[in-house]
Chain A
């Protein structure tokens, strides 16, 4: 295939096939490094915070949170939407970019998909524990009610969410696992001890890389990508309907589905960049996750950030134009009310900050991208906080207006989910190939 000289190679350093295997199997086959242990122990400490605060919530009751009759959704649903949003980049990278034949996805899709799965774990915690009696969570499933033949309500977007999130989690897991099989087989065939041979052999399911299997495998991967693409879009659409189908000023807008999906991809890429910038540095994968990859991702950030920014402004203009005083007040209250600081943080982080990526220097300077990626993460958390809390805290009845502040339990659970997320990610980086070896081997001679 003809390739223009102006294109940059997708994998640098003149790697051969066996170099790829060696480089990527190294963390699995060697003892963990000190930086791995340091990170893992910190993550475990935060995981402990999660367990402790959740235990306290269950033990003492949901009153340990500051959610109440006016602000019935606080940090919990903010965090839920935040984590689900982060989860979107993984499937976007592996599915949508596969359909678009973007080869640069190949060295980042594995870790992005892992991130998706761990983020959805974190997300699921919040609605489950917000139920108060988490041991009754199975009531959300389509089962007959224990007291009669009352079923779940299919008119409710919250039920759609149950279906959407669980489908998303299981399909992402399958997609991820399927992609892992050839690489697990590689580790199996290199294994030098019995335990590794057994476990990687077990999960490789006898993969031997025959041309017949590869032919089927590619068909399966393509179809999975094809169905995962609308799935990604549907999940955050449904999450946005949790809000949009209600009659709360500030939530009741038709712009929500596309705006939430763009926001999810935006925040997902923010998190992917944060993680990969650390991973490529710590694991010495600069030749696989090149500056070209970073640049491509910053372009996605720039695009989706601008879509989100446009949505903010559209929302505001439509509210002003609506002639509906509650809607107008909701937006005026966001901008100039008691939570104005959160609103302007959001505007700065999501609308303004990513615009620096118009500059080539900003797109190709890793430390600078890292800072922006953190800003994007913060900004997208605040977006959900602004949408949820400012819309609720001053409702139709001024006598019930309140200010909402999180308790230490709510803060602890949120910080704790980072512990869960990073614990999973560190284990993943130790036990599974962080980069898809089989796919990268097909492109080591290719250009972007």
Chain B
């Protein structure tokens, strides 16, 4: 009765990561048309028609629910009959105490029917989905319960088309990321959510690789990540001792900012506080280095962002993470 495939242990998957349910649905349909066997999809919310597209039948839990309800009704009747008719009839207010008091049983029968149906069905649901308290979750992408939709294809299953073809199809269908060789992991292995979200492909999960090329790639990536991490650490330790930039460096940064964002002026000043991440104090800092308007913020390039972060001692990476450019663009149109 239990569906074994729900447990994803040790399987290797090709993943397509999506940020739009329609694109996910579309790519499921495209892959199905090509005869690709899809393992399952993982979404943060129910995507309509996805189960049909994947070829799943409607769950049979309804039959179980009916049986539970029937059992409940039977128990209700048995309970009342055994107590008030069979075992110990009571005469209260001259009311009937034989089977003709059946009408008085109806509320109890009704309530027990519902009680049994609800609990029976929910327990069956948990059993069928292999859910119980304390089980470790299998997660393929840490954001699959947040805003990412994951399409998983089991690599051990023979497919009609090659894995590269599958991956290109996924890319073409609008996947924001395609990964070739992933295993499920458990979010409790790593507490550092930041590391996950910044870069979900590196080292933090146990990975198995097939080709030498991939191994080299992965090792390089990991080394790069480590170096990056170290640089960040050094940067942040340096940040702590303030005024790290010499005057020359400052003016260099300022000219970069001016060059990229153009001259701002107090006249067309926008309320930069509307950008999440900017408070009153930081707003005046930004004004101090010549950034006044949403238009300027929206024009930011990676180098300008870096310059702004360095010159204002702002949290490295935060501007991109909070998507200031996108925010500013939205705010401009308002």
Q: Which of chain A's residues have a CB closer than 8 A to the CB of B92?
A: 153, 155-156
CB nearest neighbor in B for A165 = B111
Looking at chain A's contact residues, the main secondary structure is: helix
User: Do B61 and A223 touch (CB < 8 A)?
Assistant: yes
* Residues of the B chain whose Cβ atoms lie less than 8 Å from the Cβ of A185: 137, 145
A208: contacting residue among B3, B84, B133, B137, CB under 8 A: B137
Chain A 227-238 interface mask (CB, 8 Å, partner B; 1/0): 110110010001
Give the CA-CA distance A294 to B114 in the complex, in Å.
31
> How far in angstroms is the closest Cβ of chain A from B28?
9
Q: Which residue of B lies closest to A203 (CB)?
A: B133
* 0/1 string, B21-53, CB within 8 A of A gives 1: 000000000000000000011111111101100
**Residue pair B88, A211 in contact (C-beta under 8 Å):** no
Contacts of B134 in A (CB 8 A): 202
Q: Are the CB atoms of A189 and B139 closer together than 8 Å?
A: yes
Closest to B102 in A: A154
Segment touching B, from A56-64, A214-222, A270-278, A381-389: A214-222
Q: Establish whether residues B108 and A215, one from each chain, have CB atoms under 8 Å apart when the complex forms.
A: no
Residues in B whose Cβ lies below 8 Å from that of A441: 44-45, 147
Contacts of B140 in A (CB 8 A): 208
Q: Which of B240-259 contact A (CB under 8 A)?
A: none
- Asked if A197 is at the interface (CB within 8 A of a chain B CB), the reply is yes
Q: Which residue in A149, A174, A186, A201 is a CB contact (below 8 Å) of B188?
A: A201
Q: Is the CB of B137 within 8 A of A223?
A: no
Interface string of A183-208 (1 = CB under 8 A from B): 00110111111100110011111111
Stretch at the interface among B123-131, B223-231, B267-275, B292-300: B123-131
- A150 CB contacts on chain B under 8 angstroms: 88, 90
The residue from A157, A206, A224 contacting B136, defined by CB atoms under 8 A apart: A206
Taking a contact as CB atoms under 8 Å apart, the answer to whether B90 and A170 are in contact is no
Interface centre among B54, B112, B140, B193 (most CB of A within 10 A): B193
Q: How far is the CA of A190 from the CA of B122 in the complex (A)?
A: 26
Contact in complex: A212, B129 (CB < 8 Å): yes
Q: How far is the CA of A170 from the CA of B112 in the complex (A)?
A: 11
**B281, chain A: closest CB distance, angstroms:** 21
Chain B interface size band reads 35 or more
Min CB distance, B94 to chain A, in Å?
A: 11
Alpha-carbon distance A410/B144, docked complex (angstroms): 51
Docked CA distance A437–B146 (Å): 9
**Complex contacts, B130 vs chain A, CB 8 Å:** 206
| Complex CA distance for A148 and B87, rounded to whole angstroms | 11
Once A14-B330, A190-B193 are accepted as A-B contacts, the answer to whether A212 and B147 lie under 8 Å apart by CB is no
Cα(A43)–Cα(B137), bound, Å: 37
In the complex, chain A residues whose CB is within 8 Å of the CB of B41 = 210-211
Residues of A close to B278: CB separation below 8 A: none
A151-B83, A155-B95, A206-B137 in contact; A163/B107 too (CB < 8 A)?
A: yes
Check if B115 is an interface residue, CB within 8 A of chain A.
Answer: yes
- Quick one: CB contact mask for A130-169 with B, threshold 8 Å, 1 for yes? 0000000000001000000111111111011001100100
- B270 → chain A, closest Cβ, in Å? 18
The answer to whether B115 and A211 touch across the interface, beta carbons within 8 angstroms, is no
**Residue of A178, A182, A218, A241 touching B122 (CB-CB under 8 A):** A178
A400 within 8 A of B: no
Interface size for A (C-beta < 8 A) is 72
Q: Is A209 in contact with B117, judged by CB distance below 8 angstroms?
A: no
| Pairwise interchain contact B59-A197, C-beta atoms closer than 8 A | no
Q: Known contacts being A154-B83, A234-B110, A442-B45, is A167 close to B115, with CB within 8 Å?
A: yes
**In the complex, are the beta carbons of B193 and A220 less than 8 A apart?**
no
Q: How far is the CA of A142 from the CA of B79 in the complex (A)?
A: 8
Question: Does B65 reach chain A (CB closer than 8 Å)?
Answer: yes
A98 to chain B, nearest CB (A): 13
Question: Which of B45, B108, B128 is most buried by chain A, counting CB atoms within 10 A of its CB?
Answer: B45
Contact A154 B80 (CB under 8 A): yes
Q: Is the CB of A220 within 8 A of B121?
A: yes
Within 8 A of A (CB), among B142-198: 142-147, 187-188, 191-194
CB-CB under 8 A from B121, the residues of chain A are 220, 223-224
Quick check: A438 and B46 within 8 Å, CB to CB? yes
Q: How far is the CA of A278 from the CA of B122 in the complex (A)?
A: 33
**Residue in chain B with minimal CB distance to A436:** B45
Give chain A nearest CB distance to B212 CB in angstroms: 32
CB-nearest residue of chain B to A145:
B88
Evaluate whether A216 and B118 lie within 8 angstroms (CB atoms) in the complex, with A153-B84, A167-B112, A205-B133 already known. no
CB of A219 within 8 A of CB of B59, answer: yes
Q: Which residues on the B side are within 8 Å of A192 (C-beta)?
A: 191-194
Q: List 26 A-B contacts (CB under 8 A).
A: A18-B147, A21-B146, A21-B147, A142-B79, A151-B84, A154-B84, A156-B92, A181-B131, A189-B143, A190-B146, A191-B193, A192-B191, A205-B131, A205-B132, A205-B133, A206-B136, A207-B145, A211-B50, A212-B129, A213-B129, A214-B47, A218-B46, A223-B62, A223-B117, A227-B118, A238-B107
Chain B residues within CB distance 8 Å of chain A: 3, 6, 19, 40-48, 50-51, 54, 56, 58-59, 61-62, 65, 69, 79-80, 83-84, 87-88, 90, 92, 95, 101, 104-105, 107-108, 110-112, 114-115, 117-119, 121-122, 125-126, 128-140, 142-147, 187-188, 191-194, 330
Please give the residue numbers on chain A whose beta carbons come within 8 Å of chain B beta carbons, in ascending order: 14, 16-18, 21, 142, 149-157, 159-160, 163-164, 167, 170-171, 174-175, 178, 181-182, 185-186, 188-194, 197-198, 201-220, 223-224, 227-228, 230-231, 234, 238, 241, 437-439, 441-442
The 3 closest A-B pairs by CB, nearest first: A17-B147, A151-B83, A206-B135
